[in-house]
A and B are shown apart, each in its own frame.
Chain A
Amino acid sequence: MHTKTISQLSAALRSGEVSSVELTTLFLDRIKQHNPALNCFISITEAQALEAAAVADQRLTAGNGAPLTGVPIAHKDIFCTQGVKTTCGSRMLDNFIAPYESTCTARFRDAGAVMLGKTNMDEFAMGSSNETSYYGAVKNPWDQGRVPGGSSGGSVSAVAARLAPAATGTDTGGSIRQPAALCGLTGLKPTYGRVSRFGMIAFASSLDQAGPVTYSAEDAALMMNVMAGFDERDSTSVEREVPDYSANLDNGIEGLKIGLPKEYFGEGLDDSIARVIDAAVKEYEALGAVVKEISLPNTGLAVPIYYVVAPAECSTNLSRFDGVRFGHRCDDPQDLFDLYTRSRGEGFGAEVKRRIMIGTYVLSAGYYDAYYLKAQKIRRLISEDFRAAFEKVDVIMGPTTPSTAFKLGEKADDPVTMYLSDIYTIAVNMAGLPAASIPAGFVDGLPVGLQVIGNYFDESRLLNVAHKYQQATDWHLQLPKEFQ
């Protein structure tokens, strides 16, 4: 049962083949068994989960279940959950229990989905390896000596190890797609504004977007049907009709125009990854798609400007963590300055501090124009690159990451190399576009992800394109040996 997709679990729950309580118990047992090794979860909400499962079972018996009613899922610990600790992977929030529920998790709760727990993540979503978490590194189920990617490492590792059938994640520069690629899962970052950010702890407000982590595109569609939609509590969420993401999954893709940016296949890309991507593109051609080489000339600027914009926003987003009203407060502060500096000094980890300092610097008088303003201008150029490309093609494809999962500790002391592992994903956030990573093969037993980038609000097409590939291949059904 634990290897089934949520589409299959949904059917099994409706037919009465299994109850939500049984299913929830099964996954809770798997979490208890494997979490000590993988460290995917920060909080396991067993009692609430069993209670929610019992309610879901009543709803199913009464015949008014929604597609996700009774389906257990995990939430990244960045979403505030009323009455359940929300840490954002930080010591700063080790004691924080929100008195409100994020819109995203509330929608799952209302749909009858059962929350198994809150997953581990890079501290405040700042990281690409899940090594910056105050709660320790998360292991990759395919090789426990390697990182699962980040920042949604806990969610992705949990789903890859089948400790949860699906999970939520957030993606600011690749935090859903990069770990999905490194763990062999389907991850979708929706268009900026498609999913509400209310109650989702902000890293970089203009880039953050929540999305699903699942086995398949079909599952991602089910998750999106719950998550997507306007929220009056988030001014940046978009008031626009939400399609049924499951409706067009089976549409044919004959004549689909795929753009391959030459900048995504150049220096820095591992040859073995390039071969996997080539093979995936050939598969699409076999399905009737047409491939074109395109150019996104400003690709090389994406990582540098991301490390101006994201730290700038995070440096002020994180000012509220000051030890005054909630979160970590140092012992016995001597005065206000001492309260601030020690509370923040103790509460934040090294990567968070690094980004706060970079962000403070680039917003400072005398540097603002040269860094922040310049970065905003380049950001528009990057968006313009994509706009021009989407006049010629329907989707853009390439590798999600330049290499497979790296070893724990391998890049932890070298931030710049770490930052470059998001080189293919970051530009998408800068432009606010939707993009998915889907499993496309293996190199030395480690998964490789294919990134599919769509035009604004074209999630339906992305999921259709991914689904057709998953109908023709079985990469997404592969399981790490230990967790079969």
Chain B
Amino acid sequence: MEWEVVIGLEIHAQLATRSKIFSGASTAYGAEPNTQACAIDLGMPGVLPVLNKEAVRMAAKFGLAVGSRVSNRSVFARKNYFYPDLPKGYQISQFELPIVEGGQLEIQVEGEDARVIAITRAHLEEDAGKSLHEDFQGSTGVDLNRAGTPLLEIVSEPDMRSAKEAVAYMKKIHSLVQYLEICDGNMQEGSFRCDANVSIRPKGQGKLGTRSEIKNLNSFRFVERAINFEVERQIDMIEGGGKVVQETRLYDSDKDETRSMRSKEEAFDYRYFPDPDLLPVELDKAYIEAVRDTLPELPDEKKARFMAELGLAEYEAGVLTASRELADYFEEAAKIAGDDARRTANWVMGDLLGALNKAGKEIADSPVSAMWLGGMLQRINDHTISGKIAKQVFECMWNGEGDADSVIEAKGLRQMTDSGEIETIIDEIIASNPGQLEQYRAGKNKLFGFFVGQVMKATQGKANPAQVNQLLKQKLA
């Protein structure tokens, strides 16, 4: 039987506020355990939550960016369950009336048609602390630094049909929240993670199959692998005559498998109800419009502009707008280069990203700044160096030997443009290769390349190739 995979994601994006969602404690990552938890984060008796307005603004920004309805009135609710890293015995979240409802996003898997994924809702909530099971023999340590950190939970419709689509969607949201500067996107630190709801059904069937929820996936690779494992598991289960049960599963990246955490019967009854300590969040039209005015150019808009104004192909524009930092880098470099944005695009996508990849660096840590790369491209455009020499210049810049002009100067890489000088070299080469000259003149045209190579070798690549071609043709004729 042919199976159709159905996936929905719940993405948790940690909002980049300085303080927590309901207290003034810092949200900075990596502090000593329990040094960034105040009485409110600890759930001490009598203390009360006060909503961080910045978190609301960030959530509204996200909503507007995905074309959602930002609610005029949203309500915080208590989600009740006991756990040592949940200090109050309830998590403050949003349930019936979330701040963001509806919306959509276009994704593209390489080689496939673009697809639109619907966003059901996005709501604000506080994160829990961390339970530390290692280092405490027979006990559990609790670190409440993370308790109360603001999260935006972005819930999609079950619109994705493959693990690749799920990853494309997650990457798109990942890029978007960084464009919006509402999340640092750091997946290692848990600032961006997701739960995946996965089910399968016979192709053509309308009714959804029973789903399992895979919790807490914190890398794109894990999302893809966990979903693929889960799909295989469900297919094997059904084809072997069994049934998929609704349950929560955990992905073990070491073993590359998912395993059951709790079944539907064991699922918590969270007893959601409106939190009486917090007033409903009321946002008027003027507020929402003011937030809209702060939206930056979004990835899709930027991509369209790169294509229309800079003449980039769709693929190039897509790659270069995948992250705001990369897009900004490219734009700055292209502006300095001054001419032929596609050449800049090729350099950024090829040499630069290649080098970064190899070195395991992010664009922000690139040893070659946009200004340096742009400056080097300028020298190609004004024929100071050839594209081939540029590779050498780039390598020197990468190694910290200074900007393009300094490298060109220091290494004497300036392109030879004096035709007299080149002519002299050509004459010497023709004179010292009479055999080849004879064969060429006898009709062996391929040997033209030999002479070009000899000239370039003699000039250490500094001769302008076009000029060499032209002069050689004259001399060999």
Chain A residues with CB under 8 Å of chain B are 79-80, 86, 88, 93, 96, 98-100, 102, 197-202, 204-206, 232-236, 312-313, 315-316, 318-322, 324-327, 336, 340, 360, 363-365, 368, 372
Contact = CB atoms under 8 A, between A and B. Distances in A.
Nearest to A344: B82
Contacts of A322: 82, 84, 89
Contacts of B89: 316, 318-320, 322
**A contact patch SS:** loop
B45 A319 contact: no
B190 interface: no
A93 B46 CA distance: 12
B88 A320 contact: yes
Given A235-B277, A363-B80, A364-B269, A201 B45 contact: yes
The 8 A-B residue pairs with the shortest CB-CB distance in the complex, in nearest-first order: A319-B89, A206-B276, A205-B276, A363-B271, A320-B43, A199-B46, A201-B46, A201-B45
Interface in B296-340: none
Contacts of A360: 271
A239 to B, nearest CB: 11
A107 to B, nearest CB: 15
Nearest to A318: B89
B278 interface: yes
Task: Name the interface size band of chain B.
Answer: 20 to 34
A320 B45 contact: yes
Given A93-B45, A98-B44, A320-B45, A235 B278 contact: yes
B47 A368 contact: no
Contacts of A316: 78, 80, 89-90, 271, 273
Contacts of A340: 82
Contacts of A318: 89
Contacts of B80: 316, 319, 363
Interface of B: 39, 42-51, 78, 80, 82, 84, 87-90, 140, 142, 269, 271-273, 276-279
B46 A325 contact: no
A406 to B, nearest CB: 30
A325 B87 CA distance: 8
B78 A102 contact: no
A338 to B, nearest CB: 13
B203 to A, nearest CB: 34
Given A319-B90, A363-B273, A198 B47 contact: yes
Contacts of A336: 84, 140
A266 B80 CA distance: 41
Counting chain A CB atoms within 10 Å of each CB, the highest count among B48, B88, B269 belongs to B48
Nearest to B51: A235
A375 to B, nearest CB: 11
Contacts of B42: 325-326
Given A326-B44, A336-B84, 16 more contacts: A80-B45, A98-B45, A100-B39, A201-B45, A205-B276, A232-B50, A236-B279, A312-B273, A316-B89, A318-B89, A319-B89, A319-B90, A324-B84, A324-B142, A360-B271, A365-B271
A368 B273 contact: yes
Contact of A236 (B142, B271, B277): B277
B43, B44, B82, B269 interface centre (most CB from chain A within 10 Å):
B44
B246 to A, nearest CB: 15
6 contacts: A96-B45, A100-B39, A197-B46, A235-B49, A235-B51, A235-B277
B271 A235 contact: no
Contact of A198 (B48, B87, B273): B48
B45 A233 contact: no
A366 to B, nearest CB: 9
Contacts of A232: 50
Contacts of A206: 276
Contacts of B88: 319-320
Contacts of B273: 312, 316, 363, 368, 372
Contact of A205 (B45, B82, B277): B277
A336 B142 CA distance: 13
A80 B44 CA distance: 10
Contacts of A315: 271
A205 B279 CA distance: 12
B87 A320 contact: yes
Contacts of B278: 235-236
Contacts of B51: 235
Given A320-B87, A322-B82, A336-B84, A364 B271 contact: yes
A134 to B, nearest CB: 15
A319 B78 CA distance: 11
A202 B49 CA distance: 13
Contacts of A312: 273
Given A236-B277, A316-B80, A100 B271 contact: no
A349 B376 CA distance: 78
A367 B342 CA distance: 64
A235 B278 CA distance: 6
Contacts of A201: 45-46
Contacts of A319: 80, 82, 88-90
A360 B45 CA distance: 20
A378 to B, nearest CB: 16
A427 to B, nearest CB: 18
Contacts of A100: 39, 44, 47
Nearest to B79: A316
Contacts of A326: 42, 44-45
A360 B89 CA distance: 13
A319 B271 CA distance: 12
Highest count of chain A CB atoms <10 Å: which of B44, B46, B84: B46
Contacts of B276: 204-206, 236, 313
A324 B273 CA distance: 24
Contact of A235 (B48, B78, B82, B269): B48
A336 B278 CA distance: 30
A236 B50 CA distance: 9
Nearest to A232: B50
Contact of B46 (A198, A235, A327, A364): A198
A155 to B, nearest CB: 17
B55 to A, nearest CB: 14
Nearest to B275: A205
A31 B269 CA distance: 48
A378 B369 CA distance: 66
A315 B279 CA distance: 20
A113 B441 CA distance: 113
Contacts of B44: 80, 98-100, 320, 325-326
A227 to B, nearest CB: 16
Contacts of A321: 45
B45 A88 contact: yes
A96 B39 CA distance: 13
Nearest to B34: A325
Given A100-B39, A324-B142, A363-B273, A202 B46 contact: yes
A206 B273 CA distance: 12
Nearest to A363: B271
A236 B277 CA distance: 7
A236 B275 CA distance: 11
Contacts of A372: 273
Contacts of B272: 363
Contacts of A327: 45
